[in-house]
């Protein structure tokens, strides 16, 4: 019983630490993050960037991207993706 509990805790700890590492690796630069907001799993608003788009990082698959949008535009995911490990906005 104790062995199963410890093994389960190790697996959960590994999953959590893997997700945190991915989030840290995909964190935007401060100046880019200031130009968009209202970012959720499905959409994000470009406040002041010349162009930005929403993205979802998918476990064991390629990332999925919304359309590039101009200032004051919303970038949406085309579907609700399974196994999303991280999401955000990218400016160019």
**Quick one: average pLDDT of 24-30?**
51
Question: Tens digits of per-residue pLDDT, 68-84?
Answer: 999 999 999 999 999 99
pTM of the model: 0.64
pLDDT at residue number 22: 41
Share of the chain above pLDDT 70, in %: 64
Higher pLDDT, 12 or 26: 26
Number of Cβ atoms within 10 Å of the Cβ of 37: 12
Closest C-alpha among 89, 49, 88 to residue 70: 49
Number of domains in the chain: 1
Residue 51: domain span: 2-91
CA distance 53 to 63: 12
Higher pLDDT, 88 or 2: 88
Q: Is the pLDDT of residue 32 over 70?
A: no
């Amino acid at each position: 019983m104790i062995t199963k509990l410890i093994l389960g805790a190790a697996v959960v700890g590994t999953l959590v630490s893997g997700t945190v590492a991915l989030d840290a690796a995909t964190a935007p630069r401060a100046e880019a993050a200031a130009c968009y907001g209202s970012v959720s799993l499905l959409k994000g608003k470009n406040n002041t960037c010349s162009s930005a788009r929403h993205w979802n990082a998918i476990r064991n698959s390629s990332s999925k991207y919304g359309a590039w949008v101009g200032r004051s535009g919303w970038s949406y995911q085309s579907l609700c993706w399974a196994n999303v490990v991280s999401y955000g906005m990218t400016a160019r």
